[in-house]
Structure 1
């Protein structure tokens, strides 16, 4: 699965190599006890893209205190794509529809030290889903304070310390790979 991710920059190349070594080393991949056992575990993020308007959905995550894509921890023996499907229903109340451009393979990979209590390291596979902005009318209010749609240039204009630490890099990679003009809804 890692082989499907084409590294965008040296940081992603390093993260891919580190993730491959972690997997080959036989370490446990799945979280078995919240929040941090084992200290490194697998996560599936999904970035919902309104392809018509060139906007992505970000959520204000209560525990992280940041604007992030939706996602969740991969359960023991669960395929990471199945995590996307499950978390999409739970968090956004919609079915996971893979992007016509990117499909069901992960598009981006990051390794991130979490913040706050129960600090741990997430090895995150980032998927791209498609949905019209108007179809997401509710969300998991226990987990998120709010949601918002931003054009890709708007994401890049957001202060980095308010977003997932890799959000700007992901956005640049998405813009380059998507290759379409990105316009805001009028």
Structure 2
């Protein structure tokens, strides 16, 4: 993954935190792309929705003890942020042929980490996939559960800010159509 590709992807979004993310990447350079590059770094995630955008597939994160979209650290073999998000969603959902709806960034969210996390903060870059809820899923080693939820009946114990992020991502996806 090249730093120029990351800045191009970030510059192409209209997400409210775009300038803050670009400043972080420009300040930290390649270290922003590596989990060993410092206590704060980029991550990639994937919001997996049903085709009607009425339900979302979430995982119960083992370390964080909260329901959240699929995602994680960038790996050396990832070509770009979109590929990292797709890889994470495939690994954590068990849906091997999951593909992104678009390679455009749909969400930016910087969040502090506490408890069992070695990192201080993640600068998360989110993408979207659409999957039939009838597809079989599996639980990865990083989660305790994977389950579909209607957006109007989300579970207790969500990651902080997740309902607002879901609403914004659905609005972004609906606007693209």
Q: Deviations over 1:107-150 (max 9, x none)?
A: 0100011121324110101111011111133121x211112211
- Match in the other structure for 2:129: 129
1:177 aligns with 2:172: yes
Number of corresponding residues: 163
TM-score by length of 1: 0.77
Which sections of structure 1, spanning at least 5 residues, go unmatched? 8-12, 181-186
Equivalent residues in 2 for 1:18-167, closer than 5 Å = 18-27=20-29, 28-33=31-36, 37-52=37-52, 54-76=54-76, 78=78, 79-94=80-95, 95-99=97-101, 103-117=102-116, 118-140=118-140, 142-155=141-154, 158-159=155-156, 162-167=157-162
How far residue 93 of structure 1 moved from its aligned partner, in angstroms, is 2.1
Structure-1 residue corresponding to 2:5: none
Aligned to 2:33, the other structure's residue is in SS state coil
Q: Residue 107 of structure 1 contacts residue 127 of structure 1 at CA under 8 Å; is this kept in 2?
A: yes
TM-score computed with the length of structure 2 as normaliser: 0.81
2:137, 2:146 within 8 Å by CA — same for their partners in 1?
no
Structure 1 stretch displaced more, 84-93 or 54-63: 84-93
1:48-88: CA deviation from partner (whole Å, max 9, x where unpaired): 11114621011100101110001110124731112123223
Q: Over the residues paired in the alignment, what is the CA RMSD in angstroms? A: 2.1
